[in-house]
Chain A
């Protein structure tokens, strides 16, 4: 078991982290490059920067969500807070990062981390229930959509039990291994699934706006390419 745990927190973690970082950097880089290219081609290069910034901030801090669906908004905020803070600030995780993080890096003690874990799990359960019980969400959901939520729920639960072996329903070392494997899987999936929105979210409103900024010659070029420039309607 210890050998597996060493592997999961050693080589496997480093590989997963590398895939995650390189993958999201690639996705982000491609998106920025595409945005730049689209802007250069746009017939009208003026962008409503104020509107884009305002809507981006509105969604990064889900203000609109609170107004429209307060329970869902709260659940979403709770889940995102937990999932973003715990990997980087829980003391146990900071130790795992080794010398990568500076010595002054803040560490969340066990108590606050437990609270954050429960808050995140509660948020995840609400979102999962919403996905399963609300007809429109259920109709749209694919196995992967539910699978990602279950993975993150398992990651949070196994993390809690790994940190509190006495309350764990399974062998404590097994729980540590499950937590590490689930964490590595989440890292690998980040650039490959919709979790990639963790880095692309700040760009989405800009992308939506630039999408409507058509290249000046686009219609005419398409007509020529389709040999329809002289074709009657």
Chain B
């Protein structure tokens, strides 16, 4: 049968799909640690429904299939039936469950209704990580050809394409963009900034979400302004300048290849640390999986640009003018950096300093609601209505309650999604990154300030 999903798929081989699914499942279990997780979840899953209370998708749809526990059960049932002694025994005693095309189609659909935000994990009394089970299920589905086309196309360009990035930006175009941003920053903000390209032996090599080069000039200018003001030794590599890692959303082996490429670029230029731009999943995939795949304790250190900026501000190297932003501002916690409690306070402290009227969304920090575009779904344009009106409804309600005029979403994916959520929910709110506002508030050192006369003089 042809597999039908709400998202576009590439042409795929649908012959013997269940057998191929089980072959892949078996292979993955042999080479990974997932069996431990599936065993524990299978034995202890309480099916209490508490995870349902936390899921922003279920809260809107009320559909049983959107309960995290029920979604995990889709894969656990296959695991128990085909990979455990008890399941084999039950099959011989009359258990009629058989994996078929329709069941795989259901998995392909349901596992992409989850935003992998892992909010449900916080509420599971038995610690079942439904996000991890979704992660595994998507990998198995990917190996049989069931991944949203949007994610595959982007990853193909990043790993097999000429540009080595998900947006298909050639390195010369990236350099041109950086030069343009340098000029624009002088014109718009009167600040001299630089984007060092292919500098060897720098302290940091910078990987923003590559889409920032196309869509978020203020974020990038803010990043560069902070680096310039603090005298940082940093560079952007031309072989690989994309922090985006869709492998995190659908394939461990691609996740491995993407982070390995980042480390290879670091080594090519002799940089010491990896600096990730404002992007939640790019940060988490580098922070967690560079050590996993590239050397454990010996792997290069990974930090997020917000950590860098905060540390520099606290140390006094970076000066920010207080109360520069007059509008009401709220902050959206990207799941990939907040759910574990990794980065929650740093941006808040900065915002409280530079904004006159900072208000919190509720809930926030580790308890935050996903923007609705997590798990790579933000890139799937054909499911926009589901993303914004279902997955993003909780976020829209949160934003509306704050009465904020600006939502700071320090993540490329969240920024796109929150902007679309606000548009579809008729919220008149500006969405931006943290460094967009820092650019407005930076108390730049003298050498960065370009007076209008100087500028004209230079041009002459």
Contacts and interface: CB of A to CB of B under 8 A. Distances in A.
Contacts of B160: 232-233
Nearest to A195: B44
A211 B132 contact: yes
Contact of B126 (A43, A139, A204, A226): A204
Chain A interface main SS type: helix
A225 B45 contact: no
A42 interface: yes
A139 B70 contact: yes
B127 A44 contact: no
Interface in B135-157: 143, 152, 155-156
Contacts of B28: 222
A211 B36 contact: yes
B49 A208 contact: no
A205 B48 CA distance: 18
Given A55-B127, A136-B52, A216 B293 contact: yes
Contacts of B341: 51
Interface stretch (A12-20, A33-41, A116-124, A160-168): A33-41
Interface stretch (B228-236, B254-262, B386-394): B254-262
A9 interface: no
Interface in B16-54: 23-24, 27-28, 30-37, 39-40, 43-50, 52-53
A232 B45 contact: no
A20 B78 CA distance: 27
A91 interface: no
B252 A139 contact: no
B297 interface: yes
Nearest to B256: A219
B33 A215 contact: yes
Given A137-B49, A223-B253, A233 B152 contact: yes
Contact of B291 (A44, A76, A135): A44
B250 to A, nearest CB: 11
A212 interface: yes
A56 B291 CA distance: 25
Contacts of B37: 207-208, 211
A45 interface: yes
A201 B45 CA distance: 11
Contacts of A203: 40
A107 B121 CA distance: 39
Interface residues of A, number: 63
A49 interface: no
Interface in A153-205: 194, 196-197, 200-201, 203-205
A89 interface: no
B33 A208 contact: no
Contacts of A145: 46-47
A135 B67 CA distance: 11
Contacts of A214: 32-33, 252, 289, 292-293
A140 B51 CA distance: 11
B44 A196 contact: yes
A225 B30 contact: yes
A27 B43 contact: yes
* Most chain A Cβ neighbours within 10 Å, of B48, B123, B132: B48
A220 interface: yes
Given A69-B50, A131-B48, A219 B69 contact: no
B380 interface: no
A93 to B, nearest CB: 26
A140 B70 contact: yes
Given A44-B292, A65-B125, A214-B292, A208 B156 contact: no
B155 A233 contact: yes
Interface in A24-80: 27, 30-31, 34-35, 37-38, 41-46, 51, 55-56, 59, 62, 64-65, 68-69, 76
Which of B31, B62, B293 has most chain A Cβ within 10 Å? B31
Given A69-B50, A214-B289, A226 B27 contact: yes
B299 interface: yes
Contact of A139 (B34, B49, B129, B295): B49
Interface in B242-268: 251-257
Nearest to B297: A46
Contacts of B121: 208
Contact of A200 (B27, B34, B44, B53): B44
Contacts of A35: 36
A210 interface: yes
Given A139-B67, A219-B257, A194 B156 contact: no
B383 interface: no
B58 interface: yes
Given A68-B123, A136-B53, A141 B30 contact: no
B67 A140 contact: yes
A38 B304 CA distance: 28
Nearest to A46: B297
A216 B296 contact: yes
A226 B143 contact: yes
B342 to A, nearest CB: 10
A73 B303 CA distance: 38
B159 interface: yes
B2 to A, nearest CB: 22
A148 to B, nearest CB: 10
B292 A216 contact: yes
Which of A30, A204, A215 gathers the greatest number of chain B CB atoms within 10 Å?
A204
B49 to A, nearest CB: 3
Contact of A43 (B122, B143, B253, B292): B292
A45 B127 contact: no
A42 B33 contact: yes
Top 8 closest A-B pairs, CB basis?
Answer: A219-B253, A204-B127, A136-B52, A219-B256, A137-B49, A136-B49, A44-B291, A43-B292
Given A204-B44, A233-B159, 7 more contacts: A43-B293, A131-B48, A136-B53, A194-B44, A208-B37, A211-B37, A219-B293
22 contacts: A31-B36, A42-B292, A62-B125, A68-B123, A76-B125, A136-B52, A137-B47, A140-B64, A140-B67, A196-B44, A203-B40, A204-B40, A204-B128, A208-B128, A211-B129, A212-B132, A214-B252, A214-B289, A216-B292, A219-B256, A222-B143, A233-B254
